[in-house]
Amino acid sequence: MAVEETLARVPLFSAVKSKELKKLGKRMQERSFGEGEVITTQGETGLGFFVIEDGNASVSRNDQVVRNLGPGDFFGEVALIDEGPRSATVVATTDLRCRGMTAWEFRPFVEEHPEVAWALLKTLVGRLREAESALNLSA
């Protein structure tokens, strides 16, 4: 399958026009990880943003799995946005094929595509709401 077809199925890119998806496909490198491989480590710095093409990964914070990711999901945006440490550890739970871009490619891409910025905001706000309601429960 052509890269842009895979990217068209990624909800984050759903509003990106097909010509732009083609360009994006050229900018995103294929990255593969073996089952069990650690891709990001909570607290450490990192330079990659990834979209999953095939396979699954787990997201853990403080050794607890908070989310499982699969085809069409993305990860690695947090540390690239604020240039801080990784907020979670992401591990490949199967063999995993991703498309990745570096921090210095990610920012210009998001700035050129406000529709992607909006989709990212939605995801981040969703996570904020979850975190806030979890805090209220335990208060």
Instruction: Out of 4, 7, 76, 98, name the contact with ligand CMP by CB under 6 A.
Output: 76
Longest pairwise C-alpha distance within the chain: 49
Instruction: Rule CB under 6 A: say whether 90 interacts with ligand CMP.
Output: yes
What is the nearest approach in angstroms of ligand CMP to the Cβ of residue 4? 22
Of 17-25, 30-38, 79-87, 97-105, which segment contacts ligand CMP by CB under 6 A? Answer: 79-87
98 burial class (0-12, 13-18, 19+ CB within 10 angstroms)?
buried
**Contact (Cβ atoms closer than 8 angstroms) between residue 102 and residue 47:** yes
Of 2-10, 13-21, 70-78, 109-117, which segment contacts ligand CMP by CB under 6 A? Answer: 70-78
Within positions 17 to 56, which residues make up the interface with ligand CMP, using CB under 6 A?
40, 46
Residue-wise DSSP of 102-130: EHHHHHHHHHH-HHHHHHHHHHHHHHHHH
Question: Judged by CB, which is closer to ligand CMP: 7, or 39?
Answer: 39
**Residues near 105 by Cβ (< 8 Å), separated by ≥ 6?**
27
Instruction: Rule CB under 6 A: say whether 78 interacts with ligand CMP.
Output: yes
Terminal C-alpha separation, the chain: 49
CA angle 17, 19, 22 (to 5 degrees): 110
Instruction: Rule CB under 6 A: say whether 87 interacts with ligand CMP.
Output: yes
Binding residues for ligand CMP, how many (CB under 6 A)?
15
What is the binding site for ligand CMP (CB under 6 A)? 40, 46, 59, 66-67, 75-79, 86-88, 90, 127
